[in-house]
Chains A and B, each alone.
Chain A
Amino acid sequence: METVNIIGAGLAGLSAAHTFAKNKIRSRLISLQPSERAQSVMAEGGINAALNTMGEGDSTFEHFEDTMRGGAFLADPKAAEVLTEHAPEIVTELFKMGTPFAMKGDSIIQRNFGGQKKKRTAFAKSSTGKVIMTALIDEVRKYEAEGYVERLDHHEALEPVLADDMCIGVYVRDTFAGEAVFCRGPVITACGGLNGLFEGMTTGSSANSGDFTAACFALGVNAANLEMIQYHPTTVVVPGKRMLVSEAARCEGGRLFIKRKGDPWFFMDELYPDMGNLAPRDVISKTMTEVVAADDTGDQVYLDLTELPRGTWNKKLSDMRDEIKEYLGIDPAKEPVPVTPGIHFFMGGILVDKDHRTSVKGLYAAGECACQYHGANRLGGNSMLAAVYGGKVAADSLIRDAVYYKEVSECQAVPEAPEIRCGFSRELSEILGQGMGIVRSGEGLERALKHIDELKDECNIREKRRLYLAEAMLLSALKREETRGAQVRSDFPAKDDARFKKTTVAVFRNGKTEIDFKEIGQI
């Protein structure tokens, strides 16, 4: 089999490389920065699996149900089912690689997490992503030594190379030497979320520009559910970005409040007595916007962690406490932390089937860049699971599909890869930030689309592609005339299953984006 190109060396990319290597297939791990710098290392609260280690009678079926409900029934149930079924196996495998999840005796202990009533989240303080990555990097190293995994660090994937409606390789530029080359072979993209479209407004890594996804889209690879952007309820503004205050804070007892007539009002406890502060993220962020807008309240929501016992701070959240102290100058054990919702995750992305095939033969997608598993809202603890599992499934499908290549004529001219201009990036982010806020309206989206149109002149190719993707995002939000999960429309406040319990598919053809609503699971 051809050497496979994997774009991105985070959890999904590593997981794919690992799967290929175990099957004695060679892969090229192409990434701008080494794995230690991938956004996956920033993942905090944990990874979900119904291991049932806490004596609560948890089951994979309940995990499946929570995932579907949390995603407002927009996820592909067939995909969510296999994901949750395989979760215990995935977490056990990571554990056997030496991931130091919190333990009691010889067993993993699990914590509560949002949108789930049972303790299902394996964790390591609030640095779970980092410790999983460390274990997986060491594991993949074994196969690097055997020659199954070739690392191309400091390489940027520019665009997939499509010929006869098939992906035959990828153009890659060495950012140290500046040269671009053609890497032949099928491609799995695991290039992460679309942070570049919202510069300085997301909790993720600034290195995840979304440009490879934008290139895929502009070249005709279909995208899905682009309107589904997760605003995490508890983020704080630090210079140049948003910083996450992990959901783990609320899982361990943190509560949100706002001042009402001078007194703290613990609105989640009162308005959602069932799930309280552990309601799904879309619900909390939307509620925060509402309570801030109310007439008799202040304009700042706080996260109160002052009641947490000392043992919890030391054993489970010491890293988070240090971080808040360092960047905000506040000791969260002593005073409440002012928080606002911020962009944290893109549920939408490249359209894939349950086996992670995209709309183009020979191209697969996994991890945050793919639209899979999370529907209209992702549950905390499901992103790392989906990345590891998705990478594995993508690799397995690619092996099964045994994509056959005709002789490829040596590569056409390597494309230009101009940089994004700073001013452009800022402007685009501002437009998108306004149009794609927590609460959207037809009018606001139309206005944003008009502004995007005005930006189109004098753009370089990279910028143009970002604009196409941004436009598709706005159009997806505009056409979905309902409120569901992360899509909150002030002008369409109700859910409309008949018209919109469907996947929003964005297709770029002849310079134009078309939006279509397809049956869930269809690509």
Chain B
Amino acid sequence: MKISVLRKKIGEKGRWQIFEYEPKEPGETVASALNNINRTNPGERIIWDCGCLQKKCGACAMVINDRPTLACAVKLADIKGGLRLEALRKFPIIEDLMVDRTVLRENLLNAREWLEEEAVMNEKKQELLYEASRCLQCGCCLEVCPQFMPGDKFFGTAAAVPMIRLINCSKGDEKKRLRKEYYRHVYSGCGKSLSCRNICPAGIDVDRLLVSR
């Protein structure tokens, strides 16, 4: 199988490097292939973020055959033809497939996303709060969003999901404040392209969350 990787450094256009790769075991993912390639070519290690290898940490988000997803979520067996791997394009490149996603954290900080008061919890909300707690902060939804640009006041779905958790377990003035932030940083900037739908590698039901703010 042909795996093309866009090798890139800060300030460079980058070059495609092609690896001929023979899967070593059944069920291999892009992530395990990258690890194996690096093992056999230690001199020119591909730089990428790797964590849990099972879709729980969001580290290995990248663009795979033009679709942003996690490297550990794509099985080689499901790929017809070759693979093209590039870094997420909305974030500053560090090297190869690694980007700087600090803006995700900064946005939540700027929107003052936290509770000053005790959370309001009950059984009815539990399922919704659970869903809204699952965001990996991987950035895939922002990659496909036509509205999101780092540094802009529109923060996109990666901010909307955590915001929805906080809105739904707050009350009174605090809820008002959090809703205001949501309006300012999500609602007012969203072009309703729905491109973030079905892109979340964690399978978060974005539609359902967005109506429950």
Question: Interface residues, chain A, CB within 8 Å of chain B?
Answer: 33-34, 36-39, 41-42, 95-106, 124-125, 127, 130-131, 134-135, 138-139, 141-142, 144-145, 151, 153-154, 176, 204-207, 238-241, 243, 322-323, 326-329, 421-423, 426
B105 contacts A151, CB within 8 Å? yes
Question: Interface residues, chain B, CB within 8 Å of chain A?
Answer: 24-25, 27-29, 31-32, 35, 38-39, 42, 49-59, 94, 100-102, 105, 108-109, 112-116, 118-119, 121-123, 125-127, 129-130, 133-137, 162, 165-166, 169, 203
Instruction: Tell me which of A36, A105, A329 contacts B58 (CB under 8 A).
Output: A36
Instruction: Tell me which of B53, B122, B166 contacts A105 (CB under 8 A).
Output: B122
With A134-B165, A176-B94 known to touch, is A139 a contact of B133 (CB < 8 Å)?
no
Other CB < 8 Å A-B pairs besides A34-B105, A98-B119, A138-B108, 10 of them?
Answer: A98-B166, A100-B129, A100-B130, A124-B126, A134-B165, A138-B115, A139-B115, A240-B53, A241-B53, A422-B42
**Please, which residue of chain A has its CB at the minimum distance from the CB of B42?**
A422
A95 contacts B137, CB within 8 Å? no
B57 contacts A98, CB within 8 Å? no
**Please, which residues of chain B bring their CB within 8 A of the CB of A422?**
38-39, 42
**Please, which residue of chain B has its CB at the minimum distance from the CB of A206?**
B50
Q: How far is the CA of A422 from the CA of B43 in the complex (A)?
A: 11
**Please, which residues of chain A bring their CB within 8 A of the CB of B121?**
95, 98, 100, 103, 106
Some 7 contacts from A to B, beta carbons below 8 A apart, are A34-B105, A102-B126, A105-B122, A130-B133, A135-B133, A176-B100, A239-B32
**Shortest CB distance A100–B (Å):** 4
**Please, which residue of chain B has its CB at the minimum distance from the CB of A426?**
B39
**Please, which residues of chain B bring their CB within 8 A of the CB of A138?**
108, 113-115, 162, 165-166
**Please, which residues of chain B bring their CB within 8 A of the CB of A176?**
94, 100
B109 contacts A239, CB within 8 Å? no
Q: How far is the CA of A478 from the CA of B42 in the complex (A)?
A: 35
Q: How far is the CA of A127 from the CA of B58 in the complex (A)?
A: 15
**Please, which residues of chain A bring their CB within 8 A of the CB of B54?**
42, 238, 241, 243, 323, 327
A36 contacts B162, CB within 8 Å? no
**Please, which residues of chain B bring their CB within 8 A of the CB of A38?**
57
**Shortest CB distance B165–A (Å):** 7
Instruction: Tell me which of A37, A100, A139, A322 contacts B51 (CB under 8 A).
Output: A37
Instruction: Tell me which of B24, B32, B59 contacts A33 (CB under 8 A).
Output: B59
Q: How far is the CA of A509 from the CA of B129 in the complex (A)?
A: 51
With A97-B119, A100-B125 known to touch, is A205 a contact of B51 (CB < 8 Å)?
yes
**Please, which residue of chain B has its CB at the minimum distance from the CB of A107?**
B123
A134 contacts B135, CB within 8 Å? yes
**Please, which residues of chain A bring their CB within 8 A of the CB of B29?**
239-240
A238 contacts B119, CB within 8 Å? no
**Please, which residues of chain B bring their CB within 8 A of the CB of A240?**
29, 31-32, 35, 53
A103 contacts B133, CB within 8 Å? no
